[in-house]
Structure 1
Amino acid sequence: MDRDEARTLKEQLAAFALDLAERHGDVPTPRSGGGTATAVRAADVVRAPTLALGLVPQGEGEFGIAVRYRLGIPRARSIVRKVSAEVGPAVDVRRTGRIRPVSELGPRPPAPTSLADGDTDRRRPLRPGLSIGHVGVTAGTLGAFVTRAGDGHLYALSNYHVLAGSPDARPGDVVLQPGPADGGLPPGDRIGELTEVVDLDGAEPAYTDAAIARLDRVPVDFEYPVGRVVKTARALGGETVGKVGRTTSVTRGRVTAIELDDVIVGYEDLGALAFDDQIEIESLDDGPFSRGGDSGALVYREDGVALGLLFAGSESGGRSGKGLTYANPIDRVLEILGIELAREPAQPFA
């Protein structure tokens, strides 16, 4: 199938799977006040055998259907079998563990001793991959430096759950490097302040877990392991990608699915949220592509073109059993926040 055919089939399968779940009584009755079917399923994911459906590359210009389901959900296997039968040989089925924001995924290892193991220390100049966090959060990753047209400021880009962490966070809140879990304390470790977040509203599918913090006058190093990253692209599937994160530092992976819809991510404070149009990545290394504390890392191709903003993962699943990582398409993140990857040296900024 070409991409348009695969997209059409994906939409048909989503309706088919929802109908199967409703006939089994697995979709709970909407709460008073209504809400979309997706929102209802996400809010009660323990009962609902929801499937994440996306596209998987199958040769040049050809795509199949990615079917992802979580272990332990009643009757999920039965629905997966029926959905897969509708697709035929063009289906790619994978089981996942529970998907959570990467900052909440598994225990964080002790503070590493070298860049090869990550970097949780206080560092100046700031650079991508460092520990960062809202003053009331644990720690995540500084993903990229970005600008907004015409205002003359430099911002740090990371996840909502790294730079804000809860609905109680407000613009102006202190952001630290390193993050609080790594010993960061105000005022000495302050690097800026929370500026804007993308709201996560359980009533509708989400597309990004993202936020920006306006930086104080601190020195900045723009370099990634692949050099400067200023260009972006949509993931097509099959790309070899990398990232540099607070916990696992530099890792390599492969994009195994794109345009995944209904990826259910469990947040401690927000509950279960459904994300659409997501990128799936599996590790090409001996260890996982990401672990707790890597939230907010920029995902880029080997040629230094940015594809996504890492935000969630599972502790199991994938062909290697090491878990899968999920990223928001970077172009959508930049568009929603009205920002772009910084292209000029950081000094001076107002």
Structure 2
Amino acid sequence: MDLDEARLLKNQLGGYAAELLAARPRAAAATPSATGVALGLAPRGDGRFDVAVRYRLGTPTARMVARRLQAEAGPVVDVRRTGRVRPLALAGPRPPVVTAQAAGETGRARPLRPGVSIAHHAVSAGTLGGFVTLDGSAVVHALSNYHVLVGSPAAQRGDAVLQPGPADGGRLPADRVGELAAFVPLAPGRTALVDAALARLDDGVEVDATYPVGELAGTAPAEGADEVAKVGRTTGVTSGRVTAIELDGVVVGYGEELGELAFDNQIEVEGAAAAPFSRGGDSGSVVYRPADRTAIGLLFAGSESGGENGLGLTYLNPIVEVLTALGATLV
């Protein structure tokens, strides 16, 4: 199918899935992860698309819906099971992947650069994705996720941000590099589009906006089976391939304070060969196409199982949506 045909079929199958759930009252009243099936577009590599259907292993209702959708539409439906999807940084004293096992930069880094450990003073550790300026201002801000730079609904603008993050040894006041300045709120019961936040850097904090491929040339939407890369706090530089775009209904478990949140219009990436694309602590990484040095997404969540190589799937917010929501421009 071409792009427009795939979008039309995706919408039709979304309506059919809603009908299936409405016919099962107990399922319709359950949690998003128990009933939800994510629907998107799966690039085939030849410029055409299938409909991507994703459901979590161990959820019978979601498995039933996925199978019915495949039976309804036939071979143009790409069905995959995922593991439990979580944000890839957590609040608290322990990181998702301990410092000693991380391949990326977990130590103190000056000047600041993409891929290093960073976090709110009460969050474990995530990744500094890059640098932005806000519309109408030349002041440089660090870009990462809400759950890296905010972490909790109790956090406030002006809270200290540390590099490295607390789980990697960052402490106040020596490792303070800035303060929480802006974020897109996340709230239970509301479908989200981005998990994103900014830290205003303190005066005198120097930055180096160079990635492993050099300076980025700009931003763009994911177009299909893009070959992509990122540099993150935990797994360092990794490569992968976009396996779905415009994915609606991705359910991410944020723990007790926020619960399970559903995200629309997300990008799915699978790691290349026999390696995962991301692990806990890589949240906040900017994902780019090495071929043209163009940023396409902000990494925020993933699973440790699922995908063709069985090593998990990674989810990104489209970078254009992130920057628009924050009123920012990537440096």
TM-score, length basis structure 1: 0.89
**1:56 counterpart SS class:** strand
Decide which moves more: 99-108 or 67-76. Answer: 99-108
Residues 149 and 197 of structure 2 are in contact (CA less than 8 Å); yes or no, is this contact kept in structure 1? Answer: yes
Aligned counterparts, 1:126-145, within 5 A: 126-145=112-131
C-alpha deviations, 1:213-252, integer Å up to 9, x for none? 0001211111100100141110012111000000000000
Which residue number corresponds to residue 319 of structure 1? Answer: 308
Q: 2:59 aligns with which of 73, 77, 83?
A: 73
C-alpha deviations, 1:54-73, integer Å up to 9, x for none? 00112543211000000111
Residues 45 and 224 of structure 2 are in contact (CA less than 8 Å); yes or no, is this contact kept in structure 1? Answer: no
Q: 2:261 aligns with which of 258, 273, 279?
A: 273
Whether 2:248 is the aligned partner of 1:261: answer: yes
Which residue number corresponds to residue 328 of structure 2? Answer: 339
Distance in 1, matches of 2:18 and 2:194, equals 24
How far 1:89 moved relative to its partner? 1.3
Which residue number corresponds to residue 190 of structure 1? Answer: 176
How far 1:165 moved relative to its partner? 0.1
Name the CA shift for 1:305/1:60 in 2 (closer, same or farther; >3 Å): same
How far 1:28 moved relative to its partner? 4.2
**2:89 counterpart SS class:** helix
Stretches of structure 2 that go unaligned for 5 or more consecutive residues are: none
Which residue number corresponds to residue 18 of structure 2? Answer: 18
Which residue number corresponds to residue 249 of structure 1? Answer: 236
How far 1:107 moved relative to its partner? 4.1
How far 1:106 moved relative to its partner? 8.6
C-alpha deviations, 1:233-286, integer Å up to 9, x for none? 100121110000000000000000000000000001210000000000000043
Residues 251 and 285 of structure 1 are in contact (CA less than 8 Å); yes or no, is this contact kept in structure 2? Answer: no
How far 1:287 moved relative to its partner? 2.1
Question: Structure 2: which amino acid aligns with 1:23?
Answer: A
**1:67 counterpart SS class:** strand
Distance in 2, matches of 1:204 and 1:172, equals 26
Whether 2:186 is the aligned partner of 1:200: answer: yes
Name the CA shift for 1:77/1:149 in 2 (closer, same or farther; >3 Å): closer
Distance in 2, matches of 1:237 and 1:314, equals 21
Residues 274 and 309 of structure 2 are in contact (CA less than 8 Å); yes or no, is this contact kept in structure 1? Answer: no
Whether 2:301 is the aligned partner of 1:301: answer: no
Aligned counterparts, 1:17-166, within 5 A: 17-29=17-29, 44-46=31-33, 48-104=34-90, 107-111=96-100, 117-166=103-152
Question: Structure 2: which amino acid aligns with 1:317?
Answer: G
Whether 2:274 is the aligned partner of 1:286: answer: yes
How far 1:111 moved relative to its partner? 2.9
How far 1:112 moved relative to its partner? 5.6
How far 1:168 moved relative to its partner? 0.7
Name the CA shift for 1:274/1:178 in 2 (closer, same or farther; >3 Å): same
Question: Structure 2: which amino acid aligns with 1:192?
Answer: G
C-alpha deviations, 1:101-133, integer Å up to 9, x for none? 0114994133368xxx21100110100000000
How far 1:85 moved relative to its partner? 1.6
Decide which moves more: 270-279 or 20-29. Answer: 20-29
How far 1:337 moved relative to its partner? 0.5
Decide which moves more: 266-275 or 9-18. Answer: 9-18
C-alpha deviations, 1:289-322, integer Å up to 9, x for none? 1001000000000121000000000110001100
Question: Structure 2: which amino acid aligns with 1:289?
Answer: F
How far 1:21 moved relative to its partner? 1.6
Distance in 1, matches of 2:169 and 2:133, equals 28
Distance in 2, matches of 1:270 and 1:132, equals 22
Question: Structure 1: which amino acid aligns with 2:317?
Answer: N
Residues 26 and 49 of structure 1 are in contact (CA less than 8 Å); yes or no, is this contact kept in structure 2? Answer: no
How far 1:2 moved relative to its partner? 1.6
Name the CA shift for 1:279/1:109 in 2 (closer, same or farther; >3 Å): same
Residues 112 and 120 of structure 1 are in contact (CA less than 8 Å); yes or no, is this contact kept in structure 2? Answer: no
Identity %: 59
**2:241 counterpart SS class:** strand
Q: How many residues get paired?
A: 325
Whether 2:4 is the aligned partner of 1:4: answer: yes
How far 1:13 moved relative to its partner? 0.9
Question: Structure 2: which amino acid aligns with 1:219?
Answer: E
TM-score, length basis structure 2: 0.94
Tell me how large the CA RMSD over aligned residues is.
1.6
Distance in 2, matches of 1:17 and 1:202, equals 23
Question: Structure 2: which amino acid aligns with 1:184?
Answer: G
Whether 2:137 is the aligned partner of 1:176: answer: no
